[in-house]
Amino acid sequence: MNQETQDHLLEKFVATNPDYYRRQFARIGGRTGFTPTFNIFAALLGPVWFGARGLWNWGLPFILLETFGLIQLSRGLFGDLGAAATERIAQIEGTLAFRREQLAAAIEKNADNVAVFERTIASLEAAIGGIRLEAAAAEASALWVALFGLIFLLATKTVEGIVANTALERRYSTWLSKPHLSFGLSPARSALSIIFTLVVFVVCALHFSLPNAIDWLGKFPTDPEIRLQAIAWVETFFDYIIASGQWLFDFITFGIRAVLDGLEIIFVSTPWPVIASFIIMLTWLAAGSRPAIAAGSFLAYMGILGFWEKAMTTLALLGTAACLSIAIGIPIGMFCARRPKFYAVIRPIMDFMQTMPAFVFMIPVIAFFGTGKPAAVVTTMIFGGTPVVRLTVLGLRGVPENIREAAIAFGANRWYLLTKVDLPLAAPSILAGVNQTIMLSLAMVVVASLIGAKGLGEDVLEALQYASVGQGILAGFAILFCAMILDRVVQGKRD
């Protein structure tokens, strides 16, 4: 690229004062590391300059910083710093007037609690005196608050001027390889930057300098009837779902109960030496002798402290949720791995399942399945079932295409390609998804106990209710040891 072309591109990108930016960009590009320069227009215009140039990753933080400085400046110059203390004094004075009436009535009746009312009134009067001193101190600090806001604002302006040319030079370098990026000073982008910055500055300054002048700035304007109507619609919808789909919920409950009852017979009803030896042997085969010894110690801990039956109940509950999640999640992940459009539909649903708080989606689960272990299993599956899908997709998409093409070239059909090429190469990622599903399911043990699930979570919940530190810590360690045993069993082969 010759010099004339470079100058033309630079002039096209910066739109204004190309000679200045040519010198600054040459200075910045000729040195390694950060090269301090100062752009007076960026310092004066602040976030408006960065937004107009398309540097919103810099403009938005600077808007927040400048807004903070303006808030402190407006509070110090125009705000009432003692307003909060004045409101507290008004509340206490109302209580004080009521107590004085009670004192007068008690004196008139020659009651025994006169001294109590006198002490209460004296305490309230002392509190009012202390709050008045706080209000006076807050009002006296107004000048210092304004000075701090001014210094903070000037410091922010200085930083904006120093980093502006470097930020613009980096965007220019990126624009040379990605011409689709916005450049220049378009009227629309400049107007958006100005309007957005002014709205933020003006609204915040008005709210903090005149807090009671405009009510809707501090409280979102709404109508309680809207919320009540929305609640009624949601309840109507769920009533319809429950009435029309009860057969489906009964079928799901029957399937969960069948698996859960089978696992409870294995873990709870089977003599403990059999289960303990089976778990130790499985850990030894999967991870080696040291994890097997540790597993034996953990099981001994649970048995000696009386957690054996509850721990086995927890493992049965966890096993049901994990097995169903894995049995459903791996086929879904295999289906989504080669179908991006379908995965684009599934991904928001999984995001919702992972981000929605567990206590929220427990509400419809209870409405559909009632309380008890099946509802706990469904709740656990919702919370912990997504990692196995995501990591199955990730593992299958990470299989090198040249290996798949070589297998196809040698005559591999789709089933052979899946079972002998894709799944073995994606196995580490899939096993990581299985491990994450088990761990997240185990994390729901305590939460699931709220809706009728038995096991170790019940002990932890009871310890929370009655502040029993010892019981809670011991049960928590039992849950931790269950997680460690399962982790070594699942991860052993992969390692």
Give the residue-averaged pLDDT of 212-225: 73
The distance from CA 12 to its chain's CA centroid, rounded to whole angstroms, is 42
Question: Which has the minimum average pLDDT: 56-60, 245-249, 276-280, 422-426?
Answer: 245-249
Do residues 153 and 74 touch, judged by C-beta distance below 8 A?
A: no
Task: Check whether 450 has a pLDDT greater than 90.
Answer: no
The encoded tokens of residue 428 equal 């580490």
Do residues 300 and 353 touch, judged by C-beta distance below 8 A?
A: no
Q: Residue 28's pLDDT is what?
A: 84
Task: Check whether 494 has a pLDDT greater than 70.
Answer: no
The C-alpha atoms of residue 461 and residue 449 are separated, in whole angstroms, by: 7
Q: What is the pLDDT of residues 309-343, one digit of tens each?
A: 888 888 888 878 888 888 888 899 888 888 888 88
Task: Check whether 470 has a pLDDT greater than 70.
Answer: yes
Q: Binning pLDDT at 50, 70 and 90, where does residue 4 land? A: low
Q: Residue 212's pLDDT is what?
A: 67
DSSP three-state, residue 182: coil
The C-alpha atoms of residue 459 and residue 349 are separated, in whole angstroms, by: 33
Give the residue-averaged pLDDT of 145-174: 90
Question: Which has the minimum average pLDDT: 96-100, 249-253, 421-425?
Answer: 96-100
Kindly list the distances between the CA atom of residue 488 and the CA atoms of 110, 184, 314, 380, in Å, as whole numbers in the listed order: 76, 57, 18, 21
The C-alpha atoms of residue 453 and residue 444 are separated, in whole angstroms, by: 10
Q: Residue 15's pLDDT is what?
A: 82
Q: Binning pLDDT at 50, 70 and 90, where does residue 495 land? A: very low
> Which residue from 312, 287, 313, 258 is spatially nearest to 431, judged by alpha carbons?
287
Task: Check whether 387 has a pLDDT greater than 80.
Answer: yes
Give the residue-averaged pLDDT of 461-482: 81
Q: Binning pLDDT at 50, 70 and 90, where does residue 159 land? A: very high
Instruction: For residue 355, give the H/E element and its range.
Output: helix 340-355
Give the residue-averaged pLDDT of 254-279: 84
CB atoms within 10 A of CB 303: 14
**CATH topology classification for 243-494:** MetI-like fold (1.10.3720)
The C-alpha atoms of residue 269 and residue 251 are separated, in whole angstroms, by: 26
Task: Check whether 64 has a pLDDT greater than 80.
Answer: yes
Q: What are phi and psi of 427, to 5 degrees?
A: -60, -45
As a whole-number percent, the residues of the chain with pLDDT over 70 amount to 96
Q: Residue 154's pLDDT is what?
A: 93
Q: What rounded mean pLDDT belongs to the chain?
A: 83
Q: Residue 153's pLDDT is what?
A: 92
Q: What is the pLDDT of residues 185-208, one digit of tens each?
A: 888 888 988 999 898 888 887 777
The C-alpha atoms of residue 495 and residue 488 are separated, in whole angstroms, by: 10
The C-alpha atoms of residue 108 and residue 288 are separated, in whole angstroms, by: 85
